Amino acid sequence: MATSHKLTWELHTRADITAAWTSLSDTDRFNRLAKLDFRFKPAPPGSKVRRIGQVRRLGMNLSWDELPFTYEAPRWFKTKRIFHGGPAREFSATLQLKKAADGGTNVRYVVELIPRNALTSPLLKIDMQRSTRPQLDRVWKLLIAELDAAKAPRDLAPPELSPDKEKALGRLLTKLPQDEITEQLGRFIRSGALRDQDHMAPPTLAARWEMDEWLLTQRLIQATEQGLLRLNCEILCPSCRSPQAQAGLGPQELHCASCEIPFDDALPDSIVVSFRPSKTVREFEVPQDCVGSPALTRHILASRTLLPNEKLELDMNLSPGFYRLRTWPSRGSASLEVRPGPSSSLEVQVAQDRMSPPLLRAEPGEVSLMLQNTTDQPMRVVLESSWSATGELTAGRLVEHLPRSASLLPIGLPVSNAQTSRRTVLSVFRIGKSDLQALSHFLTAAGAEQVVLSRSGAALAVFEESKDALTALQSLPSPQDLRAGLSQGIVIELGQGADRRPTGSTAQAALAGARAVAAGHVALRSQEQDLNKHVAELGLVSVSPWFSERSAQPYSWFKLK
């Protein structure tokens, strides 16, 4: 076997480890700054890889299988590629971050290339020294300078607008109110990174520009009506939270090759809205330069491979909040509650259909989880925040706050008249191996006005009366296999007739609670006093009278009987 070739960088930045991880784990940006010109295409059906990478190098068209990243934020990541042919057999890149004595961060980055044979080894060694080393030296110099100066991460500047496009931009901007928001929007279209312009998410831009989210969103809607922007509606995978398809034209059934799960657009947070410049002012496409980058799944804090019958220790520094352990392919999940107080055993066994124990508790700070795979199959295990990622605007929340935006949604996503209802209670039941159809029949018999099922294992039931929802909650079959969330308020419905799907902040709050709790429990938004009163009347035992600092909507947990 030919000897591998390595390039190593030992660096230091004054930035703390959290800031360093935020910047350096964005490998999509890293590759783009290095101008590596990678391209990716979906893997064939049935493949165990997510994407096939392609690049032209050494006068040849090379391709490879892009394997999933393994990482523990904010300490390290590793990525590996297996080439289909050509002079190299395998490539890997490893980043390690350690806190320095001065409060900064020590950075170690290693690139390793394994030649296909001894004949191709000299060629690869020369290319690494003469081409790869200078390319990455330039990027590392830029990134360390950026971190040391505490500057916000920047991407490549966009191409300058042509005279005709600049004239069109100026004309369309004059049709909007002339204030700071419009001025900032014009500057962004002229100079903002194309990746940011491709998905202009109002919550993210509002935080960056220090503006009110809904004032900014309203202006983006106005800009869309005037032809300056275009509204995008995309369906996200509920696991990796990455876009998989354009929304519209009725309910869709999808499959995420990365997460190896089927899903649909039935859940209230599955359809998200963003904006991008119209072709009148800027025509562009943004190729993805890296697939599986940890920066693309910020809600996932760790991702590891667990081999058959292997024991693996997962070391994380965790702040107070709710977390979840789960696997790909799915073998159930376990909830982790991090808060001051006594800790439970942190040893988790993964069987064919469940994790045990289903609920763990740990104090904030350094947490070591011992995971054991008792099956004869390998799997990926991830630790993630239980709350939905910030920076997303769902179609339901958009219509709830700005009803006029409904006319801009794609065909197939009309808003039903039920949006005016203010008396609806939404119950969300997220289940594992339980029979969804049987649960649907049960909820309908219990008085649910509407029940929507999701391929990702959730049932959403809308009740007119809170008493009916709570009675159904009390009588749930096999409660040990269920996770539930309750919320009360306005429910927005996308679609019509049998295709209606409840969404909006009320539905999202119930779903967020159901995702956070362990099996056999229900999460209830704490400020909803009437629901809390009814829950107390049912005699449900509170198991966590502690409110998550990760959520703007604090929850209480109760054990289902």
- Answer yes or no: are the C-beta atoms of 268 and 400 closer than 8 Å: no
Please write the tens of the pLDDT for every residue from 348-361.
999 987 888 888 88
- Does residue 195 form part of some domain? yes
Domain count, the chain: 4
Question: What is the pLDDT at residue 437?
Answer: 84
Residues 339 and 228 in one domain: no
Please write the tens of the pLDDT for every residue from 51-76.
787 888 888 888 888 888 999 999 99
Confidence grade of residue 116 (pLDDT, cut at 50, 70, 90): very high
Long-range contacts of 64-70 (CB under 8 A, 24+ apart): 64/91, 66/40, 66/291, 66/292, 68/258, 68/292, 68/303, 68/305, 68/380, 69/292, 69/293, 69/294, 69/303, 70/303, 70/304, 70/305
- Start-to-end CA distance of the chain, whole Å, equals 61
Q: Across residues 369-377, what is the average pLDDT? A: 94
Higher pLDDT residue, 519 or 475? 475
Whether the predicted pLDDT of 387 surpasses 70: no
d(Cα 150, Cα 494) in Å, to the nearest integer? Answer: 43
Q: Strands (DSSP E) along 248-394, which ranges?
A: 253-256, 261-264, 271-277, 300-306, 311-318, 321-328, 333-338, 347-350, 355-356, 359-362, 365-373, 379-385, 393-394
- Does residue 184 form part of some domain? yes
At 523, the amino acid letter reads A
Report the DSSP beta bridge partners of residue 488: 425
Residues 130 and 193 in one domain: no
- Does residue 262 form part of some domain? yes
Residues 476 and 534 in one domain: yes
Higher pLDDT residue, 190 or 506? 190
Residues 554 and 455 in one domain: yes
SS (H, E, C) 109-169: EEEEEEECCCCCHHHHHHHHHHHHHHHHHHHHHHHHHHHHCCCCCCCCCCCCCCHHHHHHH
Residues 176 and 49 in one domain: no
Q: Across residues 491-499, what is the average pLDDT? A: 77
Higher pLDDT residue, 96 or 233? 96
Question: What is the pLDDT at residue 288?
Answer: 64
- Does residue 291 form part of some domain? no
- Does residue 153 form part of some domain? no
d(Cα 42, Cα 26) in Å, to the nearest integer? Answer: 21
| Residue 561: other Cβ atoms inside 10 A | 13
Residues 360 and 425 in one domain: no
In sequence order, what are the residues at sequence separation of 6 or more whose Cβ sits closer than 8 angstroms to the Cβ of residue 350?
Answer: 306, 327, 331, 332, 371, 372, 373, 374, 375, 379, 381
Higher pLDDT residue, 425 or 413? 413
Residues 210 and 262 in one domain: yes
d(Cα 398, Cα 197) in Å, to the nearest integer? Answer: 19
Q: Which of 385, 405, 433 is the last residue of a domain?
A: 385
- Answer yes or no: are the C-beta atoms of 90 and 82 closer than 8 Å: yes
d(Cα 372, Cα 307) in Å, to the nearest integer? Answer: 9
In sequence order, what are the residues at sequence separation of 6 or more whose Cβ sits closer than 8 angstroms to the Cβ of residue 552?
Answer: none
Domain membership of residue 465 as a residue range? 416-559
In sequence order, what are the residues at sequence separation of 6 or more whose Cβ sits closer than 8 angstroms to the Cβ of residue 277?
Answer: 189, 197, 228, 229, 230
Higher pLDDT residue, 49 or 161? 161
Residues 18 and 131 in one domain: yes
d(Cα 226, Cα 323) in Å, to the nearest integer? Answer: 43
Whether the predicted pLDDT of 422 surpasses 70: no
Whether the predicted pLDDT of 519 surpasses 80: no
Residues 141 and 48 in one domain: yes
d(Cα 68, Cα 92) in Å, to the nearest integer? Answer: 12
Whether the predicted pLDDT of 555 surpasses 80: no
The CATH number linked to 13 is: 3.30.530.20
- Does residue 282 form part of some domain? no
Confidence grade of residue 530 (pLDDT, cut at 50, 70, 90): low
d(Cα 263, Cα 457) in Å, to the nearest integer? Answer: 9
Candidate from 180-194, 237-251, 410-424 with smallest mean pLDDT: 410-424
Residues 269 and 304 in one domain: no
Residues 100 and 179 in one domain: no
Candidate from 170-184, 283-297, 374-388 with smallest mean pLDDT: 283-297
Q: What's the chain's average pLDDT?
A: 84
* CA max distance for the chain: 78
- Which residue matches tokens 């998550």? 548
Whether the predicted pLDDT of 418 surpasses 90: no
For 55, counting Cβ atoms within 10 Å of its Cβ (0-12 exposed, 13-18 middle, 19+ buried), the class is middle
Confidence grade of residue 77 (pLDDT, cut at 50, 70, 90): very high
d(Cα 421, Cα 435) in Å, to the nearest integer? Answer: 30
Residues 119 and 174 in one domain: no
Q: Which of 243, 277, 311 is the last residue of a domain?
A: 277
d(Cα 254, Cα 257) in Å, to the nearest integer? Answer: 10
The pTM (predicted TM-score) of the whole model is: 0.83
- Answer yes or no: are the C-beta atoms of 545 and 556 closer than 8 Å: yes
